[in-house]
Amino acid sequence: MEQEVSDFVLFLGRFHPLILHLPIGFLVMATILEGVSRLKRFDEYNKAVELVLLLGSLSAVAAALLGYMLAQAGGYGEQLLIIHQWSGVGVAVASAGAYLLKRYNRNRSSALMDRAYLSLLTIMVIALGIAGHYGGSLTHGSDYLTQYMPNGLRTVAGLPPKEEKGFKKITNLEEAAVYNDIIDPIFETRCTSCHNQNKKKGELQMHTRQLLMKGGEGGPIIVEGEADKSEMIKRINLPEAHDDHMPPEGKRPLTSEYKKLLEWWVNSGAPFEKRVSELKRSKEIQSALNTLVDPQANMSPAEKLLASDIDPVESKVQTELQKHGVDLRPVSDRGHWLQADIKKEHSVDSLLVMLKKVSPQLTWLDLGETTTTDKALQPIREFPNLTRLHLQNTRITDKGLSELAGLANLEYLNLYGTAVTDAGIQQLEKLDNLTKLFVWRTQVTQEGAQDLQETLPNLKVYLGAEKKSVALENDSK
């Protein structure tokens, strides 16, 4: 069945969707004119019918020819295509016939011929409806019209109630069916819109197990047990801008977790009947699997905080703070979390007292390079949502650090170039979420850093270039 089709034919075929609107317009218009002109008041419109029918049938023939060329490109469901094709041909033939009869009837008035003409016109309109409907199904999928139909109407129309496509929430991960609960939903949400019974892009259909394993134009897309050799895995791992990347550029891409899970499934032999507990899982796969149960499973506490929502700050407050040298900006384009930078030349003595107005929203605070002292830092304990704090090159000492002990969400702390010592940073030992601490150019020693890291295993202490970094030593272990 495969035969070479010239590029020029395919090029012309692409004009089908453009041209097809002409016969629809002309032929519907001809029918309306014909109907209306049968009323005495509008009988002069009758003269126009012949011309409009001629234009309609010529453009219908053109649309049918171009449609035939488009079909050579393949990728359309067989059955829908046949119905569409033949109803399209029906439109062309019926409209040409109607035109000829209209011409023939011009000067004669035979009731029989008029009835034949009207019958042909009716057939033409019906064929037009069928061709249009199936054409729409070919391009948009057969559920295009009904996809968003409310459930009430669906019942009336005899359709089953809407099913939630894609992921059902997984509660018991060990018992979950690897294919049905994890792999197939990924295909359903990201692939089958183009690889199904109606649209077979690349001759590939992914909506049933058999067709998935059969593969596409280039043969099987899955080599059981060998993800590296599987066309499907190769394609999802290509750079997004690459022509062969799947899903194609502009479509919602696969998350890195989904990619890993598909790879895992193929490497496990692409089984259809196994449960999660029956397959080997690396740590990385386990953490990808965990996100199916809880989307926030792999987020740090700070990321979870930022993923939650908070009320916005009044713009009045924002402008007022701006006047005092506080640059307030949203942390991201979603949510209302704020970061504050303080202009260096401004006095910071009572600044934190003023900032209390935005303390629930404030999550990043940059006091770096300012004259902040231990005393000015005191109100910091009333900023529970701080995740990042810059205090580099300020005047704070160990005493100031004791104020930070309650900042449970703090993840990043920069103390570069301050007078803090080993004793000072020990006061941070309750900050379970601290992962980055910068103490270059301070009195902190390697031993002091090591001590703190023993209490806080997720912490990296950055001592800088002069002293051997504890962080590096930890990594090489």
Name the minimum Å distance from CB 220 to ligand HEC: 8
Please state, in angstroms and rounded to a whole number, the distance separating the CA atoms of residues 131 and 31: 17
Closer residue to ligand HEC (CB): 217 or 374: 217
Name the minimum Å distance from CB 195 to ligand HEC: 6
How far lies 441's CA from each of 67, 162, 374, 392, 418, in Å? 74, 63, 18, 10, 7
Name residues whose C-beta falls within 8 Å of residue 445's C-beta, 6 or more positions apart in sequence.
422, 467
Inter-residue contact 398 to 427 (CB < 8 Å): yes
Name the minimum Å distance from CB 215 to ligand HEC: 5
Closer residue to ligand HEC (CB): 114 or 217: 217
Closer residue to ligand HEC (CB): 4 or 475: 4
Which residue in 244, 278, 284, 454 binds ligand HEC (CB under 6 A)?
244
Name the minimum Å distance from CB 186 to ligand HEC: 7
- Tell me the β-bridge partners of 219: 216
What does the per-residue mask of binding to ligand HEC show for 8-47, with x meaning CB under 6 A? ----------------------------------------
Closer residue to ligand HEC (CB): 226 or 244: 244
- Tell me the β-bridge partners of 414: 390, 438
Q: Is 221 in the site for ligand HEC (CB under 6 A)?
A: yes
- Tell me the β-bridge partners of 216: 219
How many Å separate Cα 142 from the centre of its chain?
23
Name the minimum Å distance from CB 281 to ligand HEC: 22
Specify the DSSP class assigned to residue 268: T
Specify the DSSP class assigned to residue 85: H
How far lies 79's CA from each of 20, 125, 126, 214, 216, in Å? 20, 22, 19, 20, 19
Please state, in angstroms and rounded to a whole number, the distance separating the CA atoms of residues 339 and 328: 6
Name the minimum Å distance from CB 259 to ligand HEC: 9
Q: Is 81 in the site for ligand HEC (CB under 6 A)?
A: no
Closer residue to ligand HEC (CB): 253 or 330: 253
Which residue in 56, 90, 141, 215 binds ligand HEC (CB under 6 A)?
215
Site for ligand HEC (CB under 6 A): how many residues? 23
What does the per-residue mask of binding to ligand HEC show for 135-174, with x meaning CB under 6 A? ----------------------------------------
What does the per-residue mask of binding to ligand HEC show for 247-266, with x meaning CB under 6 A? xx--x--x------------
Name residues whose C-beta falls within 8 Å of residue 390's C-beta, 6 or more positions apart in sequence.
365, 366, 367, 368, 414
Q: Which residue has the tokens 């301070």?
A: 442
Which residue in 80, 246, 261, 452 binds ligand HEC (CB under 6 A)?
246
Name residues whose C-beta falls within 8 Å of residue 336's C-beta, 6 or more positions apart in sequence.
309, 310, 311, 312, 313, 330, 361
Closer residue to ligand HEC (CB): 246 or 428: 246
Ranges within 173-212 binding ligand HEC (CB under 6 A):
190-191, 193-195, 201-202, 204
Instruction: Identify the sign of the CA torsion 301, 312, 370, 344.
Output: positive
Q: Helix 111-140 crosses helix 78-104 at what angle (to 10 degrees)?
A: 150
Instruction: Please count the other Cβ atoms lying within 10 Å of the Cβ belonging to residue 304.
Output: 12
Q: Which listed range, 98-106, 242-250, 309-317, 382-390, lies at the site for ligand HEC (CB under 6 A)?
A: 242-250
In which order are the strands placed within the sheet that holds 388-390? Answer: 326-330, 338-342, 362-366, 388-390, 412-414, 436-438, 460-462
Specify the DSSP class assigned to residue 202: G
Name the minimum Å distance from CB 214 to ligand HEC: 10
Which residue in 121, 128, 232, 377 binds ligand HEC (CB under 6 A)?
232
Q: Is 459 in the site for ligand HEC (CB under 6 A)?
A: no
- Return the closest-CA partner of residue 53 out of 71, 28, 82: 28
Instruction: Look up residue 419 and give its two tokens.
Output: 């007078």
Instruction: Look up residue 301 and give its two tokens.
Output: 């506490």
Name the minimum Å distance from CB 244 to ligand HEC: 5
Closer residue to ligand HEC (CB): 216 or 417: 216
Q: Which listed range, 87-95, 244-252, 320-328, 444-452, lies at the site for ligand HEC (CB under 6 A)?
A: 244-252
Name the minimum Å distance from CB 167 to ligand HEC: 14
Which residue in 34, 231, 263, 403 binds ligand HEC (CB under 6 A)?
231
Question: Which residues would be at the binding site for ligand HEC (CB under 6 A)?
Answer: 190-191, 193-195, 201-202, 204, 215-218, 221, 231-232, 235-236, 244, 246-248, 251, 254
